[in-house]
Structures are given as C-alpha cells and as structure tokens.
C-alpha cells in the first residue's frame, strides 16, 4: 500500500538520512545500510558544527550529552539534541536535530528524524522514527520474532514479505505511541496516528487513525 512507502510516511527534509532513504521504496529496506551510511556521512560533517569526540562518534556542538550517557560508534548526534542521564546508544544511530533520548532509553540501528522524543525507558532497535514522532514512557519496539523467522508485515492490502529477520517499528511523522505499549516486529504506524497506552500492536496501522486495541482502530475526525 502506498501509504507505507518512505515518501508517504516521512518528510525527508527533516533528517540527515535523506540521501539513504530517498533510494528506498519502503523504509525497512535501508536498515542494513544505516551503519555504513553513518560512517560515511560523519566524515563529511562540517567541523565547525560537529566534533568527533571519539572515533566515529560525531556530536553537534550545540547538542547536550549527559556524562552518564553511553555512546557506541558509529553515532551522529544532531544539532540541539539532548542525550539524557543513563541513555544507552549501542551504535548505528543517527539522532536528529532537537531529538530527545532519555533516561534508560536504549537505541540500536536506528534513524531518529528531527525532534523525535524517546524520553523515558524506551527500547528502539532496527527502527525508523519520523519527524516529531513520540514514544511514551516504557513503550518499546520488539525487533525479532520468538521463532527467529523472517518478519512479514500484515496490512489492509495483504502482506509485505520483508526478507529480514530483525525489524522493529516504522513510525510516520507525528506518530504518538502511548505509555507501556509494545510494537511487535515489523509494526508500521502511519503519519499522525495515535496509539493508546498499554497497547500491543502488530502489523500496520494507517495514517490519521487512533489505535485503541486490536480490532478497534478509529479514523480521526
């Protein structure tokens, strides 16, 4: 379905990953290339705006990184981003401008667009979060099935056969995930869609909707 393509989920003007994502039809197609993209992009960042604080860890001079946060290469932290106390960035993370990565939040192989907020006790792995997407406290992305088989994504038009074993969630611009929700492997959340707290989401939820529970998804008015 067209509403789950890169261009339908995201405004690419709000990420340094635009050159990578622009080559893909669906966002999960770039997951395997995030690490190498960051390593290449980091070399081209202007030194007057970014500091390579350790090999392959580039932090904008206007960003705030708590001394208790852990950054593992390769990582790019965008302008005016905030990496708070106890954050655990495991590498292959492109963190956008004015993004917030909060207390006890763990990131691995992700693209966070500008102004994304994952501020409290979140796990985000093998995922892409669009402009101003927000994950409430305790909400997580599950990125691998219990049986370790490839992730297929069910949507209203059929099934996406991704061919990938690890996929977290793809959140469209302005998506909002309620507290303590679990996004199962391969979850797609459309633009401006809200997910109720304590939800267990599987498959695709179209843009402009409210996910209340499985089988109860209402269009916004």
**What is the percent of the chain with per-residue pLDDT over 90, rounded to a whole number?**
94
pLDDT on residue 214? 87
Over residues 35-91, the pLDDT tens digits come to: 999 999 999 999 999 999 999 999 999 999 999 999 999 999 999 999 999 999 999
Q: Whole-structure pTM over 0.75, yes or no? A: yes
More confident site: 154 or 187: 187
Instruction: For residue range 171-189, list pLDDT tens digits in order.
Output: 999 999 999 999 999 999 9
Give the burial string for 20-31 (b: 16+ CB within 10 Å, else e): bbeeeebbbbbb
Residue 1, pLDDT > 60, answer: no
Q: What domains lie within the chain, and their CATH numbers?
A: 2-219 (2.160.10.10)
Q: For the residues of 145-165, what is the DSSP string, one character each?
A: -TT-PPPEEEETTEEEE---S
């Amino acid at each position: 379905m067209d509403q789950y393509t890169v261009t339908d989920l995201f405004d690419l003007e709000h990420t340094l990953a635009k050159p990578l994502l622009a080559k893909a039809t669906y966002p999960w197609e770039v997951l395997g290339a995030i690490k190498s993209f960051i390593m290449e992009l980091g070399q081209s960042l202007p030194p007057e705006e970014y500091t390579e604080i350790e090999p392959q860890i580039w932090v904008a001079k206007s960003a705030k990184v708590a001394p208790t946060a852990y950054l593992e290469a390769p990582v790019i932290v965008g302008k005016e981003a905030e990496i708070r106390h106890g954050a655990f960035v495991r590498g292959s993370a492109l963190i956008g401008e004015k993004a917030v990565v909060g207390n006890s939040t763990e990131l691995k192989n992700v693209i966070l667009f500008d102004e994304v907020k994952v501020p409290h006790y979140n796990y985000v792995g093998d995922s892409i979060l669009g402009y101003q997407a927000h994950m409430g406290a305790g909400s997580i992305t599950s990125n691998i099935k219990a049986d370790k088989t490839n992730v297929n994504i069910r949507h209203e038009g059929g099934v996406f056969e991704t061919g990938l074993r690890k996929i977290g969630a793809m959140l469209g611009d302005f998506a909002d995930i309620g507290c303590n929700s679990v996004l199962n492997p391969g979850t797609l959340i459309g633009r401006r869609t809200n997910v109720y707290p304590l939800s267990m989401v599987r498959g695709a939820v179209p843009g402009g909707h409210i996910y209340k529970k499985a089988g109860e998804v209402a269009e916004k008015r």
